[in-house]
């Protein structure tokens, strides 16, 4: 059984805004086939567990309801590995400048 | 119980908009198609001097104009003898939230506070969100940013994930949505529920805020070189950057400066496609925004868009994804400026266009933006590979959006592909005519308006209207 998160815990909630089949008429087929989903973070207004329907208060002071999907959600975007196709560009252009300098 | 269905909310669009901006756009109507654009802007009270005062209150603007001497030298290694204009860049990353978008947000948030709104809402996945959140923080207003942030597999576009983080750092509520134009529906619901100010990218405030950028470029270039810039290049998406910059240049006296818009070519990718969302490698400054907004500005989240690029464009060019990542690396390694790639779109164009200009000419790249985790060529190219896109060195003409990103092997391969403005003007006129009510006639005022909108003549407009009515357009 998941741990109960206390009131005031910083969480992310998830909600389906428009299910597949109820999307706007102009969206392409691949988008129409999936739901429009929403994720928002805030502080729990009452104890809840992951997967529960719960109410949060957002940083703008709004109360929103949804399913608790993450606790203290991490920022995981990063850089990743260097790109070899870019790693040699600097030396290439410096070489071109050195050659030009040598001619003058 | 109120009806919150898509159709119900969209049908209330006009009244929600009016309440959330406080501008009665109806006051500016002058014909069936025309409206008084200059009066719409002037009535805000933000002339250049006033905008400057407001922006200074939050340390926005007065960014350095930096000469890129090494990149200019590199241009001259590939240009014909005697050619290779001096390239400068306006280092807009020096603004408080890291981009020129602070200029737009500064006036919007100042206006929201002046009008007594308790908070602001903006629909943006880009730098503008961070700018609005930063300004709102300083002004003590609540802030909600609505983003298109992840695809149906839950994969976030890394640049937008970074913007989520930045907005949250400034204390904003960030609503992250999956892919789709119904973001606008969510945005309207938030405006309706909160009664907050619509800090749209396309209000007069947002455009007037950029005029200071154009004016600073004119003044600083003359201070540093003794002349106004010959060419100013602006990365082009929704049209505000081009519009505000061109207006600011003119107001500062640089009336002969050529204004060039530059966009990353993303042709073939659908902007509302869940599949294509994480295969773009760019979240702004691309043709997925710039072509539709050039040919019909009034598709925006305000009744009348204050960004009207066809009025100001002298030239419009596209560049490839691989060229932008290449020049971003060159900027870091030759000039010691590590900056975000979207802002460097116009630097690619500058590199190409400078080769055709004499060495004493001045080309100004009109912005830089901050860079960091997610918002970096390395992050974008790693995501591209994960999505099955080929990344390789080669001829950038082989670049194919969504399938192949080709990093140039040599600076001589960098090119700017000219976009013919005439089909864009015709497309604009076709769009305009589709908004004409069945019973309405095109008046003299409308013809003059359409000529100004397309930078053409009355006879050009009348010929096109005649052709459209003859069914040949």
Residues in chain A: 104
Q: Which two tokens stand for residue B306?
A: 């204050």
Structural domain contains residue A52: yes
DSSP label at residue B283: S
Chain A neighbours among B 391-420 (CB < 8 Å)?
A: 391-393, 407, 410-411
Contact (CB<8Å) A77/B162: yes
- Range 275-314 of B in CB contact (< 8 A) with A: 275
Q: Is residue A78 part of a domain?
A: no
**CATH code of A24's domain:** 2.30.30
pLDDT at residue A1 tops 70 = no
ipTM of the complex in this document: 0.96
Best of A20, A40, A80, A102 to disrupt the B interface by mutation (most B CBs within 10 Å)?
A: A80
Q: For every one of its 473 residues, what pLDDT tens digit does chain B have, with 9 covering 90 and above?
A: 578 888 899 999 989 998 999 899 999 999 999 999 999 999 999 999 999 999 999 999 999 999 999 999 999 999 999 999 999 999 999 999 999 999 999 999 999 999 999 999 999 999 999 999 999 999 999 999 999 999 999 999 999 999 999 999 999 999 999 999 999 999 999 999 999 999 999 999 999 999 999 999 999 999 999 999 999 999 999 999 999 999 999 999 999 999 999 999 999 999 999 999 999 999 999 999 999 999 999 988 888 999 999 999 999 999 999 999 999 999 999 999 999 998 899 999 999 999 999 999 999 999 999 999 999 999 999 999 999 999 999 999 999 999 999 999 999 999 999 999 999 999 999 999 999 988 888 999 999 999 999 999 999 999 998 887 765 44
Residue A26, domain member (yes or no): yes
- State pTM to two decimals: 0.96
Question: Which H/E stretch holds residue B245?
Answer: helix B240-251
In chain A, the number of structural domains is 1
Q: Which residues, 6 or more positions from B394, have their beta carbon under 8 angstroms from its beta carbon?
A: B406, B407, B408, B409
In this structure, are strands B315-319 and B417-418 parallel, antiparallel, or unpaired?
Answer: antiparallel
- Residue window 56-95, chain A: list those with CB within 8 Å of chain B: 58-62, 75-83, 85-86, 89-90, 92-94
- Range(s) of the domain holding residue A53: 1-73
Residue at A88 is within a domain: no
Identity of the residue in B152, B171, B326 whose CB atom sits nearest the CB atom of A34: B152
Q: How far is A23 from chain B (nearest CA, A)?
A: 8
Cβ–Cβ pairs < 8 A, chains A and B = 160
pLDDT grade for A92, boundaries at 50, 70 and 90? very high
Q: What span, in angstroms and rounded, lies between the C-alpha atoms of B295 and A5?
A: 51
Q: CB–CB of B149 and A39 under 8 A?
A: yes
Domain B54-98+205-418 bears CATH identifier 3.50.50.60 = no
Q: pLDDT tens digit string along B145-199?
A: 999 999 999 999 999 999 999 999 999 999 999 999 999 999 999 999 999 999 9
Asked whether residue A37 is domain-assigned, the answer is: yes
φ/ψ of residue B245, rounded to 5: -65, -45
Rounded CA gap, B158 and B416, in Å?
27
Q: In whole angstroms, what is the distance from residue B292 CA to residue B136 CA?
A: 30
Q: How far apart are CA B289 and CA B292, in angstroms?
A: 6
Question: What pLDDT, in 10s, does the model give residues A36-60?
Answer: 999 999 999 999 999 999 999 999 9
pLDDT at A55: 98
Q: How many alpha carbons lie under 13 Å from residue B195 in its C-beta half-sphere? A: 4
- Report residue B226 as tokens: 């003794």
d(CA A74, CA B115): 37
In this model, does residue A104 exceed pLDDT 50? no
A28, closest residue in chain B (CA to CA): B273
Q: Is the CB of B150 less than 8 angstroms away from the CB of A39?
A: yes
Q: Does domain B6-15+99-202 have CATH number 3.30.465.10?
A: no
CA distance A40 to chain B (A): 5
Model pLDDT, residue B160: 97
Element (H, E) at B393: strand B390-394
* pLDDT for the residue numbered A100: 84
User: What is the reported pLDDT for B1?
Assistant: 52
User: Residue B247: its pLDDT value, please?
Assistant: 98
Candidates B180, B184, B407, B409, partner chain A, best to mutate (most A CBs within 10 A): B180
Beta-bridge mates of residue B358 = B83
Q: Do A40 and B171 touch (CB under 8 A)?
A: no
B77 touching A (Cβ < 8 Å): yes
All residues of chain A having their beta carbon less than 8 Å from the beta carbon of residue B77 are: 96-97, 99-100
Q: Residue A101: inside a domain, yes or no?
A: no
Q: A68 lies in a domain?
A: yes
CB spacing of A18 vs B182 below 8 angstroms? yes
d(CA B62, CA B94): 9
């Amino acid at each position: 059984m998941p741990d109960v998160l206390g009131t005031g815990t910083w969480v992310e909630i998830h909600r389906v805004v428009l299910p597949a089949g109820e999307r706007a008429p102009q969206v392409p087929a691949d988008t129409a086939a999936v739901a429009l989903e929403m994720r928002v973070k805030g502080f729990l207004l009452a104890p809840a567990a992951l997967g529960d329907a719960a109410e949060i208060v957002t940083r703008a002071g709004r109360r929103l309801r949804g399913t608790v999907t993450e606790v203290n959600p991490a920022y995981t975007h990063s850089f990743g590995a260097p790109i070899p196709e870019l790693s040699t560009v600097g030396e290439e252009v410096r070489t071109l400048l050195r050659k030009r300098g040598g001619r003058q | 119980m109120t009806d919150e269905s898509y159709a119900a909310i969209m049908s209330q669009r006009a009244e929600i908009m009016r309440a959330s901006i406080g501008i009665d756009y109806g006051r500016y109507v002058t014909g069936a198609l025309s409206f008084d654009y200059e009066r719409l802007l002037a009535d805000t009270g933000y002339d250049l001097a006033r905008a400057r005062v407001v922006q200074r209150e939050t340390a926005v603007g007065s960014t350095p104009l930096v000469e890129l001497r090494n990149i200019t030298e590199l241009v001259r290694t590939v240009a014909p003898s005697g050619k290779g204009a001096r390239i400068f860049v306006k280092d807009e990353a020096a603004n408080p939230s890291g981009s020129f978008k602070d200029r737009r947000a500064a006036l919007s948030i100042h206006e929201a506070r002046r009008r007594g709104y308790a908070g602001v809402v903006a629909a943006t996945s880009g730098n503008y969100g961070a700018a609005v959140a930063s300004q709102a923080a300083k002004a003590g207003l609540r802030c909600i940013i609505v983003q298109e942030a992840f695809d149906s597999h839950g994969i976030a576009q890394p640049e937008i994930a970074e913007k989520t983080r930045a907005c949250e750092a400034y204390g904003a509520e960030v609503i992250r949505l999956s892919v789709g134009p119904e973001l606008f529906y969510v945005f309207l619901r938030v405006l309706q529920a909160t009664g907050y100010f619509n800090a749209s990218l396309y209000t007069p405030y947002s455009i007037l805020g950029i005029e200071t950028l154009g004016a600073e470029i004119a003044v600083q270039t003359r201070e540093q070189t003794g002349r106004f810039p010959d060419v100013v290049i602006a990365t082009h998406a929704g049209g505000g950057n081009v519009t505000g910059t061109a207006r600011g240049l003119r107001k500062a006296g640089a009336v002969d400066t050529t204004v060039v818009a530059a966009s990353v070519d993303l042709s073939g990718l659908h902007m509302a496609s869940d599949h294509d969302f994480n295969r773009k490698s760019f979240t702004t400054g691309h043709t997925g925004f710039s072509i539709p907004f050039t040919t019909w500005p009034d598709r925006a989240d305000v009744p009348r868009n204050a960004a009207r690029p066809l009025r100001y464009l002298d030239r419009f060019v596209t560049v490839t994804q691989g060229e932008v990542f290449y020049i971003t690396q060159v900027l870091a390694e030759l000039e010691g400026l590590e900056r975000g790639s979207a802002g460097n779109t116009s630097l690619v164009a500058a590199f190409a266009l400078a080769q055709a200009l004499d060495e004493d000419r001045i080309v100004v790249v009109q912005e830089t933006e901050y860079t960091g985790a997610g918002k970096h060529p390395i992050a974008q190219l790693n995501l591209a590979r994960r999505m099955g896109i080929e990344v390789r060195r080669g001829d950038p003409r082989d670049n194919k959006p969504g399938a192949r990103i080709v990093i140039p092997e040599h600076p001589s391969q960098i090119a700017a592909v000219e976009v013919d403005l005439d089909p864009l003007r015709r497309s604009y006129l076709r769009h305009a005519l589709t908004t004409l009510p069945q019973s309405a006639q095109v008046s003299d005022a409308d013809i003059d308006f359409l000529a100004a909108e397309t930078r053409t003549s009355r006879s050009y407009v009348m010929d096109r209207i005649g052709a459209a009515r003859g069914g040949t357009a």
